[in-house]
Structure 1
Amino acid sequence: MSLFSGGKDSSWALYRALEAGHPIERLVTVHPDGDSYMYHVPATELAGLAAESIGVELVTIEPADFETEDVVDAGDQGDAELRPLEAELNALDERLDGGITGVTAGAVQSEYQTSRIQAMCDRLGAELFAPLWQEDPQALAESMLDAGFEIRIIKVAAYGLDESWLGRRLDSDALADLQALNEEYGVHILGEGGEFETIVTDGPHMDRRIELEYDTEWDGTRGSVRITDAWLE
Structure 2
Amino acid sequence: MTDSGSWVSLFSGGKDSSWALYRALEEGLDVSHLLTVHPGDDSYMYHVPETRLAGLAAESIGIELVEIEPDDLGAADVEDAGAQGDRELEPLEAALADLQASLDGDLAGVTAGAVESEFQTSRIRGMCERLGIDLFAPLWGRDPRELAEAMLAAGFEIRIVQVAARGLDESWLGRTLDAEALAELVDLNEAYGVHILGEGGEFETLVTDGPHMRRPIELEYETVWEGTRGHIRVTDAWLGE
Q: Distance in 2 between matches of 1:98 and 1:81?
A: 24
Contact 1:33 1:66 in 2 (8 A): no
Q: Distance in 2 between matches of 1:99 and 1:31?
A: 26
Q: Distance in 1 between matches of 2:132 and 2:74?
A: 25
Whether 1:23 aligns to 2:54 is no
Contact 1:158 1:222 in 2 (8 A): yes
2:121 is matched with which residue: 114, 117, 126? 114
Question: In the TM superposition, what is the alpha-carbon distance from 1:146 to its structure 2 partner?
Answer: 0.1
User: In terms of mean alpha carbon deviation, does 94-103 or 29-38 score higher?
Assistant: 94-103
Residue of structure 2 equivalent to 1:77: 84
SS of the residue 2:31 aligns to: coil
Q: Which structure 2 segments of 5+ residues have no match? A: 1-7
Contact 1:213 1:228 in 2 (8 A): yes
SS of the residue 1:25 aligns to: strand
Q: Distance in 2 between matches of 1:68 and 1:55?
A: 31
Residue of structure 1 equivalent to 2:181: 174
Residue of structure 1 equivalent to 2:157: 150
Question: In the TM superposition, what is the alpha-carbon distance from 1:221 to its structure 2 partner?
Answer: 1.0
User: In terms of mean alpha carbon deviation, does 30-39 or 138-147 score higher?
Assistant: 30-39
1:85-124 matched pairs, under 5 angstroms: 85-124=92-131
Question: In the TM superposition, what is the alpha-carbon distance from 1:97 to its structure 2 partner?
Answer: 4.2
Equivalenced residue count is: 233
- State the superposition RMSD in angstroms: 0.7
Question: In the TM superposition, what is the alpha-carbon distance from 1:70 to its structure 2 partner?
Answer: 2.6
Q: Distance in 2 between matches of 1:114 and 1:201?
A: 25
Amino acid at match of 2:201: G
Residue of structure 1 equivalent to 2:69: 62
1:208 is matched with which residue: 206, 211, 215? 215
Whether 1:7 aligns to 2:28 is no
Residue of structure 2 equivalent to 1:32: 39
SS of the residue 1:229 aligns to: strand
SS of the residue 2:107 aligns to: coil
Question: In the TM superposition, what is the alpha-carbon distance from 1:68 to its structure 2 partner?
Answer: 2.4
Contact 1:152 1:200 in 2 (8 A): yes
Q: Distance in 2 between matches of 1:170 and 1:22?
A: 28
Q: Distance in 1 between matches of 2:71 and 2:201?
A: 24
Amino acid at match of 1:232: L
Q: Distance in 2 between matches of 1:44 and 1:152?
A: 13
Contact 1:92 1:99 in 2 (8 A): no
2:143 is matched with which residue: 126, 131, 136? 136
Q: Percent identity?
A: 72
Amino acid at match of 2:167: G
Q: Distance in 1 between matches of 2:160 and 2:11?
A: 17
Q: Distance in 2 between matches of 1:189 and 1:33?
A: 25
Give the TM-score, by structure 1 length: 0.99
SS of the residue 2:77 aligns to: coil
Question: In the TM superposition, what is the alpha-carbon distance from 1:98 to its structure 2 partner?
Answer: 4.4
Question: In the TM superposition, what is the alpha-carbon distance from 1:228 to its structure 2 partner?
Answer: 0.2
Q: Distance in 1 between matches of 2:234 and 2:210?
A: 20
